[in-house]
Amino acid sequence: MEGFREAVGTSGPVCVRGGRTRWNIGREESSIWTGEPIREVVAPAGIEAFEPAEMTVSAGAGTTLEELAAALEAQGQEVALEGPSGATIGGSLMVGWSPLRRGTLGETTDALLQADCVGADGVRFTAGGPTVKNVTGYDLCRLLVGSLGTLALVGRVILRTRPIPESSRWLAGPVEQSVVRKLVHRAATVLWDGSQTTVLIEGHEVDVRDQTKRLKSAGLSEVELPELPPFRERWSGALPSGGVLQIGAGVVHSWKSPVAPQVAPGIAALALRLRDIFDPERRLNPQCDPHLVAA
């Protein structure tokens, strides 16, 4: 962490480079950055401690999701972070998308217990705490997830792990999603492409088998993991061409790269005030805006 703090320094624009798999999110692709050149630093990498009994893992934010998954899988555990090959823990948290398996994994914000950061003033600070039950003070971890590194640069994290489900099955068929949802206990995900519903059920083998039987008699059949469009945007009430709605998450998997999450003007104003408090001089990832309002 000390080397990371020194690399961030106390002056000049700076951002963290992860795996660059979502580098353009929150950046206006059409606009050319005319400010001072932005220095790119790299967060520490490597798993520091994995405590399967406590269901926590601490790691450098620059650790790849692949390395993390391999270490956790050996003990039958996982974290609620996903991303393409090369993506890092820090990048995934800063992008902050909702997990596809939200029904069983929970939200990304629930995964982050503690973040060791360097602030815009070049000073180290810790958000959150190492235990799941940590109830004192403001919940800065939740603020950091999805902030695209505009509030603080994250060097090290403690994440909550989950047991990998014993069994899981994808089913799909031309059946209304409301009908499908009534037939399952709690789906990991329910997807709707405008004509058919795809559902993932997971848990104990006996429960999964039971729910599979009910879904099959309603007209669904077992399928392989579906290939989803690579980008995500907010549900606006209409399904874009080729888009897939993730029911209950308000997320549309889409072929079009969104510039940034789009939020209501009131939320954008609040986000601006927070950015003024954390980074009044706009040192941290100044080219990025995680709260662009829809034009």
CB of 125 to ligand FAD, least distance (A): 13
CB of 40 to ligand FAD, least distance (A): 8
CB of 190 to ligand FAD, least distance (A): 16
CB of 2 to ligand FAD, least distance (A): 16
d(CA 292, CA 265): 9
Which two tokens mark 235? 């549900």
Single-letter residue type at 212:
T
Closer residue to ligand FAD in complex, CB, 12/176: 12
Q: Residue 55: is it exposed, middle or buried by C-beta count within 10 angstroms (0-12/13-18/19+)?
A: middle
Please say whether the beta carbons of 187 and 200 come within 8 A.
yes
Which two tokens mark 60? 């450098």
Closer residue to ligand FAD in complex, CB, 148/215: 148
Closer residue to ligand FAD in complex, CB, 80/184: 80
Binding residues vs ligand FAD (CB under 6 A): 15-23, 43, 61, 80-84, 87-88, 90-92, 94-97, 99-100, 108, 148-149, 153-154, 230, 285, 288
CB of 32 to ligand FAD, least distance (A): 17
Closer residue to ligand FAD in complex, CB, 193/210: 193
d(CA 110, CA 113): 7
Q: Give whole-number Cα distances, 286 to 100, 163, 247, 263, in Å.
A: 29, 38, 34, 19
d(CA 125, CA 127): 7
Please say whether the beta carbons of 72 and 97 come within 8 A.
no
Nearest Cα neighbor of 89 from 119, 62, 49 is 62
Q: Give whole-number Cα distances, 86 to 68, 178, 195, in Å.
A: 11, 37, 34
Closer residue to ligand FAD in complex, CB, 180/288: 288
CB of 170 to ligand FAD, least distance (A): 15
Nearest Cα neighbor of 44 from 12, 11, 90 is 90
d(CA 188, CA 199): 8
Please say whether the beta carbons of 128 and 140 come within 8 A.
yes
| Distant-in-sequence, close-in-space partners of 28: CB < 8 Å, separation ≥ 6 | 259, 289, 292
Closer residue to ligand FAD in complex, CB, 218/268: 268
Closer residue to ligand FAD in complex, CB, 80/141: 80
CB of 86 to ligand FAD, least distance (A): 6
Closer residue to ligand FAD in complex, CB, 201/260: 260
Q: Give whole-number Cα distances, 88 to 66, 134, 148, 271, in Å.
A: 8, 25, 13, 25
CB of 57 to ligand FAD, least distance (A): 16
